[in-house]
């Protein structure tokens, strides 16, 4: 697979997009085929939903614990603290996702300025 | 109303707010893509084709962490299974006699969390013949605005001063954390989110960066499913 990508040269990232596209799209189009035959309340789908939810939480944790680029320069404690503050603001503002994002971002960018290398 | 005016209504309704909410989360994806060393065109193409910010976050965070491509594909596949029930519940709202298969294929591709939520809220109030043009006007607007903002995020990550670039990369984790918490329905969801969050960093140490997300999803998801099943059995 990596040989194939080396052959593609600068076009390789466009091929890699297919690694995101195909495994996503297959479920949407499968739904077109089976729309009338599968029970949306089935046990298999309940399990799959739980796995997908855990996977997404895992992605978030991975980005927070081992981020790349400019986020890596911000101390881990500030990154976790900003998430905790975002959750608190979300609750206090009556379950407002926007309020949570704004408070979390303000805290993180503030910390990033304070700890500028 | 003519179908062109219905399409325009879909476009305007999407621009009123929903398109900017999705687009906002795509700013962060553009930053992640740049972080993984991908050009702006590939980042924008990923929004048009993949059209799922969790899947794109897995793709680009995975690439940046050196995850193998087959493992990324498997993790993306698992994260996108939710589209199966989502598309299945949208298509009946759009179905008309003699509808072409191409219409359904394209309608299915546009489904993502925002369009799913908005369609289930808005479509039932529309006359049957207006639903498809309204849906396509709305859905295409979401995707076009999102692709543009993905590109903007990619460019901003390169030009912003480092603290603001850090804030851009932080958009994805903070937005997903809050969406996950806002979407909690019952004990299975809560266990999946909590365990997934804790197990992923442990998984990196235990099974390495290739399989950690998959292992986390399968272990935490299965435990969460079992907990949810017991809770349902008791109630």
Residue B10: band (very low, low, confident or very high) from pLDDT cuts 50, 70, 90 = very high
Q: Are B76 and B55 in contact (CB under 8 A)?
A: yes
Spatial distance between the Cα atoms of B158 and A3, rounded to a whole number of angstroms: 29
Residue of chain B whose alpha carbon sits nearest to that of A37: B88
**Helices assigned H by DSSP within B65-112:** 69-79, 83-94, 101-110
Choose among B157, B178, B203: nearest Cβ to A101: B178
Spatial distance between the Cα atoms of A79 and A76, rounded to a whole number of angstroms: 5
pLDDT of residue B22: 85
Q: Do A31 and B169 touch (CB under 8 A)?
A: no
CA angle A65, B228, B75 (to 5 degrees): 40
pLDDT at A6 over 80: no
B contact test, residue of A19, A37, A57, A92 with most B CBs within 10 A: A57
pLDDT at A3 over 70: no
ipTM, interface predicted TM-score of the complex: 0.86
pLDDT of residue A4: 64
pLDDT of residue A37: 66
Q: Do B180 and A53 touch (CB under 8 A)?
A: yes
A contact test, residue of B84, B106, B107 with most A CBs within 10 A: B84
Closest CA to A24 of B172, B56, B23, B188: B56
> CB contacts < 8 Å between A and B, how many?
311
Q: Do A59 and B77 touch (CB under 8 A)?
A: no
Average pLDDT, chain A: 87
Choose among A26, A70, A87: nearest Cβ to B166: A70
pLDDT of residue B172: 85
Share of chain B above pLDDT 70, in %: 100
Spatial distance between the Cα atoms of B196 and B193, rounded to a whole number of angstroms: 5
pLDDT of residue B56: 95
Give me the mean pLDDT over the B220-224 stretch. Answer: 95
Q: Do A70 and B84 touch (CB under 8 A)?
A: no
**Which tens digits make up the pLDDT trace of B89-136?**
788 888 888 888 899 999 999 998 888 878 877 898 899 999 999 999
Give me the mean pLDDT over the B178-182 stretch. Answer: 86
Higher per-residue pLDDT: B223 or A47: B223
Whole-model pTM? 0.81
**Which tens digits make up the pLDDT trace of B139-154?**
999 999 999 999 999 9
Closest CA to A76 of A106, A105, A112, A117: A112
Give me the mean pLDDT over the B159-169 stretch. Answer: 90
Give me the mean pLDDT over the A77-96 stretch. Answer: 96
Min Cα distance B73 → chain A (Å) is 5
The CB density around residue B85, as the number of other CB atoms within 10 Å, is: 21
């Amino acid at each position: 697979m990596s040989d194939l990508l080396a052959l593609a040269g600068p076009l390789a990232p466009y091929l890699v997009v297919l690694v995101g596209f195909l495994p996503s799209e297959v479920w949407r189009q499968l739904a077109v085929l089976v729309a009338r035959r599968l029970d949306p309340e089935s046990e298999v789908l309940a399990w799959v939903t739980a796995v997908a939810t855990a996977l997404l939480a895992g992605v978030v944790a991975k980005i927070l614990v081992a981020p790349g680029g400019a986020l890596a320069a911000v101390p881990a404690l500030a990154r976790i603290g900003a998430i905790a503050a975002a959750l608190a603001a979300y609750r206090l503002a009556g379950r407002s996702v926007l309020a949570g994002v704004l408070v979390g971002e303000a805290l993180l960018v503030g910390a990033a300025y304070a700890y500028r290398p | 109303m003519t179908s062109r005016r219905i399409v325009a209504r879909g476009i305007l309704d999407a621009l009123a707010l929903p398109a900017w909410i999705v687009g906002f989360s795509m700013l962060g994806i553009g930053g992640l893509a740049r972080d993984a060393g991908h050009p702006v065109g590939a980042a924008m193409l990923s929004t048009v084709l993949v059209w799922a910010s969790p899947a794109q976050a897995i793709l680009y965070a995975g690439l940046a962490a050196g995850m193998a491509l087959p493992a990324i594909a498997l993790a993306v596949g698992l994260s996108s299974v939710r589209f199966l029930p989502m598309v299945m519940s949208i298509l009946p709202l759009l179905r008309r006699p003699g509808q072409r298969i191409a219409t359904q294929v394209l309608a299915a591709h546009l489904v993502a969390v925002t369009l799913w939520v908005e369609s289930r809220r808005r479509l039932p109030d529309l006359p049957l013949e207006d639903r498809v043009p309204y849906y396509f006007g709305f859905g295409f607007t979401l995707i076009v605005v999102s692709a543009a903002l993905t590109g903007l995020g990619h460019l901003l990550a390169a030009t912003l001063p480092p603290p603001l670039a850090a804030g851009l990369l932080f958009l994805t984790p903070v937005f997903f954390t809050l969406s996950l918490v806002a979407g909690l329905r019952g004990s299975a969801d809560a266990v999946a989110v909590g365990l997934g969050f804790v197990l992923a960093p442990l998984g990196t140490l235990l099974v390495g960066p290739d399989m950690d997300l998959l292992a986390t999803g399968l272990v935490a998801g299965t435990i969460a499913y079992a907990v949810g099943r017991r809770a349902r059995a008791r109630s």
